[in-house]
Amino acid sequence: AKRLGRNQINVYAGAPDDYDPERLALENALRQALRDEQLELHYQPQVDLAQGRIVGVEALLRWQHPTLGRIPPDRFIPIAEETGLIVPIGDWVLRRAIEQAADWQRAGLPPVRVAVNLSARQLLQPDLARRIEQMLASAGLDPRLLGVEVTESMLIANFDQAVQHLEALRALGVEISLDDFGTGYSSLSYLRRLPVDLIKIDRSLVPDVTAPADDVSITRAIITMAHQLRMRVLAEGVECEGQAALLASHQCDQIQGYWCSAAVPAAALEAMLRDSRDS
Ligand code: C2E
Ligand code: CA
Ligand code: CA
Ligand code: CA
């Protein structure tokens, strides 16, 4: 990988080599990060188009390394997955997000559901659903204010167990979202067998106003199909008003993206919720 300068690591380097000292350094740094509380959650609003208000937020991991600076999740999550570090990190994310949601409730802010990304490894933990239930109970959070996001590809390793976890969580009231829909090998027959409340259309499939009619047809077909399966639909990566209006005209339920807001620290999100309540 490319050197940026002395003692600096190019965190945007490409695929790992068999022996990659930078990757190893990053793995060790990540262990340290978990111990030293260098990890933080930011929150990106999810806006309901019919209600015109924030109904949820997605919790997104941020890592601020003391000397390397900000390291993007696309760089460190894969390493965390391979090394198994994603399990303690994922636990930390769940606990932090649940406590945050409970704090917001106690502060009297309008109810927002906090959605957490799960990883394949977490779904392989036999006690995942039970642990989440315990976290909810100890924080005193209504399970309906928690969501989990999973992708189809991460369910494959142990489909039956993954579905059991999702069903157990859903029975508690936790919302289940299918993330990055439309990428990878989506199988429609599969979708019927999954306990899913919300489909998140990947931003690569979210058309803008200049998109060819065929692109819009695909989006519209996904929305129609989801509604027939009694699922709601969220479009990701919405960056302009035109996209939002187009999606609204096709009965898309929710949007998320820079047009509403990027992911922001908890305090900034709180201010947004306060403003929306007071206006
Ligand atoms: P994702 O789950 O698909 O998250 C959405 C990503 O799209 C986020 O990138 C978000 O910042 C970005 N995004 C949001 N709005 C827009 C937009 O309007 N335009 C564009 N171009 N991008 C937008 P981020 O935060 O870099 O996260 C990347 C990925 O890292 C996430 O993709 C997710 O797969 C993973 N990730 C993040 N936090 C966690 C976590 O706590 N646990 C696990 N397992 N994975 C996580
Ligand atoms: Ca996600
Ligand atoms: Ca996504
Ligand atoms: Ca993703």
- What is the ipTM for the molecules in this complex? 0.96
- Which three-class secondary structure state does DSSP give residue 38? coil
- 89 contacts 60 by C-beta, under 8 angstroms: no
C-alpha to C-alpha distance for 10 and 45, rounded to whole angstroms: 30
Instruction: Calculate how far, in angstroms, residue 205's C-alpha sits from the geometric centre of ligand 3.
Output: 11
Kindly state the DSSP code that residue 24 receives in the 8-state scheme.
Answer: H
Of 7, 5, 27, nearest to 16 by C-alpha is 27
CA–centroid distance for 198 within its chain: 12
Q: How far is the CA of 200 from the centre of ligand 3 (A)?
A: 7
**CA–CA distances in Å: residue 82 to residues 1, 43, 86, 120, 243:** 19, 25, 8, 11, 36
Contact partners, residue 257, CB within 8 Å, separation at least 6: 203, 206, 235, 236, 237, 238, 239, 243
What would the pLDDT profile of 225-246 be if each residue is shown by its tens digit? Answer: 999 999 999 999 999 999 999 9
Nearest CA to ligand 1 atom 12: 237
> Helices 21-35 and 73-83 sit at what angle, rounded to 10 degrees?
90
| 274 close to 109: Cβ distance less than 8 angstroms | yes
Q: pTM of the prediction?
A: 0.92
Token pair of 37 as six digits: 């509380």
What pLDDT score was predicted for residue 18? 57
- 55 C-alpha vs ligand 2 centroid, how far in Å? 16
pLDDT at residue 276, as a whole number: 84
Q: Which of 40, 44, 60, 269 is the pocket-test mutation for ligand 1 (most atoms within 8 Å of CB)?
A: 60
* d(CA 183, ligand 3 centre) in Å: 10
Dist CA 196 CA 202 (whole Å): 16
Task: Give 168-172 contacts, CB < 8 A, sequence gap 24+.
Answer: 168/129, 168/130, 168/133, 169/129, 169/132, 169/143, 170/195, 170/197, 172/133, 172/136, 172/143
> What integer pLDDT is reported at residue 1 of this predicted model?
42
Q: What is the DSSP string of 245-263?
A: HHHHHTT--EE-STTT---
Q: For the chain, which ranges sit under pLDDT 70?
A: 1-19, 185-187, 279
Q: Look at residue 12 in the predicted model and tell me its pLDDT.
A: 47
Ligand nearest to the CA of 72: 1
Q: What is the model's pLDDT at position 32? A: 95
Q: What is the pLDDT of residue 236?
A: 98
Please report, for residues 179, 192, 217, 218, the alpha-carbon distance to residue 184 in angstroms, rounded to integers and kept in the order given.
Answer: 11, 17, 19, 16
Ligand nearest to the CA of 46: 1
